Homo-oligomer: A and B are copies of this chain.
C-alpha cells in the first residue's frame, strides 16, 4: 500500500518501505515484544492506527497465546470489522476469548452478512447467548441471514439497499437520498422496482449523477438486469459477478421480490475462498485455516488424506508383489520401475489440474468434453512417444540391454496414454456425479497411474525379457 503522505514540500509521494503494507515484520516483532514484557499500553499504541484488515493480519501473525493478549490490550476499542477479516481458525479462537456481551456489541455494529459470518461457526448454545445480548432489530436480521443455507447468496447479501419506483424522477431520488433516514452506507446502484417490489432495472450511480433532475428513472435505467435468487450458491454468484462485471446485484426471494443486495467486495472474498479451497484440496489439504492451527490439530486434519494415500501406495506395492520373481531375476527392474509410475503421475496431474480448473471456470462443459477428451488422449500419446524414446535410451544404455529399453518405452507409452485419458476422465466424471473433483480426483488418478505404471512395466518385462 502506498498512502500519500505529504512530504516537506507538501508533495504526495508513495511510501517506499515494503510497498507501504502496514503489517511489517518489525511491527509484528515490536507488538510481540511489548506483549511479552506485559506492556499492553505500548502494544495498543502500536496498532492504534491500523486499518481493520491490517490489524486482523497482524493478530494472525502473532503466536497464538499473544493473540488473546493483544485483543485484551485493545479491549472495547476493538474495531468489530477486524472479526470479519480473520481466517476462520483465528476468529474462532478470538471469539471464544471474548465475553458474549462484548461479542454481541461488536456483532451489532457489523453489516448483517459480516455478523452472520462471525457468528456462524459458534456452537448453538454460545450463539444463542450472543444473539440474545444483541439489540432486537439487529438480532432479527442476523437470525434471518443465518436461516439461509451456508454458502448461499442469503448469507453474503446485505439487507440494506436503495430501491425506487420507475416513475420517480432523478430529482425525487436525490431529494429522498438527501433526507437519508433509511439509506445504507454502501450502494453502487439504485435498484428500480415495480409496485410488488420486483426489481425491473438498475441505475448505476454515475449515470444518476449525470442525469438532470426532471429525467424519469425509467428513462435511464438499465433493464438488462442480473438478479440473484437468495438460495443461489455463492460460487454461482461469484461466476455471475465475474462474467458480467457487476458491481452489485439485487437479491430476490422465491416470488421474485427484492430482499437485499450483494456487492462486489463480498464476491471478491468468495472468489478468494473458493480458490483457496480448490488449491488446497488439490494439494491434499482439506481444512481451512490450516496455517493457524496448532501442530497436533494440523497433523490430525492432514492424517485422513495421508491414510487414503497409504492404501493406494499399498495397492501399488501389491501390484509389484505379483512380479516378485521377475524382479529377483532382473533386479534392474526395481531400479527403473519408479520412473514409469512417476512420469505417469506427473503427466496425469497436468491434465487433471487443467481439467479441474476448466470445470471451475466453466470452460469445460458437456459441449466440448468429447473434444477435450480426445485431445488429452493425443497429448498423452505424443508425450508417451517422446518419453518412451528418452527413457528407453537411458535404460538401454544404463543396463546395457536394448530389450530393457524397449520394455520401459512400451510401458511409458501405455502409462502416459492412461494418464492423459484418466487425468481428464476422472475429474470430469466425478464432477458429473456431483462429487468435488478437486479432492477425490488426485488420489484416484495417482492410484491408476501407479498401478498401471508398475503393472505395464513389470508385466511387459516378464513377457518379453524372461
Q: Which residues of A contact B (CB under 8 A)?
A: 1-4, 11-14, 19, 21, 23-25, 28-29, 51, 53-54, 57, 60-63, 87, 174, 177-178, 180, 183, 185-188, 196, 198-200, 205-206, 208-212, 224-229, 232, 236, 239-245, 247, 252, 255-256, 264-265, 267-269, 271-272, 275-276, 278-280, 282-285, 290-292, 294-296, 298-300, 302-303, 305-307, 309-310, 312-314, 316-317, 320-321, 324, 327-328, 331-339, 341-343, 346-347, 349-350, 352-354, 356-358, 361-368, 371-372, 375-376, 378-379, 382-383, 386-387, 390-391, 394, 450, 454
Contacts and interface: CB of A to CB of B under 8 A. Distances in A.
A373 to B, nearest CB: 11
Contact of A212 (B178, B303, B317, B357): B178
Nearest to A87: B363
B338 A341 contact: yes
Contacts of A272: 242, 271, 361
A62 B368 CA distance: 7
A350 B302 CA distance: 8
Nearest to A233: B19
Contacts of A208: 209
Contacts of A240: 1
B283 A350 contact: yes
A290 B394 contact: no
A269 B317 CA distance: 45
A232 to B, nearest CB: 7
In the assembly, how many copies of this chain are there? 2
Nearest to A275: B275
B358 A295 contact: no
A256 B353 contact: no
Given A29-B367, A284-B346, A1 B271 contact: no
Nearest to A317: B335
Contacts of A239: 21
25 contacts: A3-B225, A4-B225, A11-B198, A14-B256, A25-B365, A28-B365, A54-B243, A57-B362, A61-B367, A174-B209, A186-B206, A247-B265, A268-B271, A271-B272, A279-B356, A279-B357, A280-B353, A280-B357, A283-B352, A295-B375, A296-B378, A307-B390, A309-B346, A314-B394, A334-B337
A372 B63 contact: no
A390 B310 contact: yes
B205 A188 contact: yes
A229 B255 CA distance: 47
A25 B178 CA distance: 49
A25 B371 CA distance: 13
A401 B363 CA distance: 53
Contacts of A309: 342-343, 346
A285 B353 contact: yes
Contacts of A375: 294-295, 298
A390 B309 CA distance: 12
5 interchain residue pairs of minimum CB distance: A283-B353, A28-B367, A299-B382, A295-B378, A12-B256
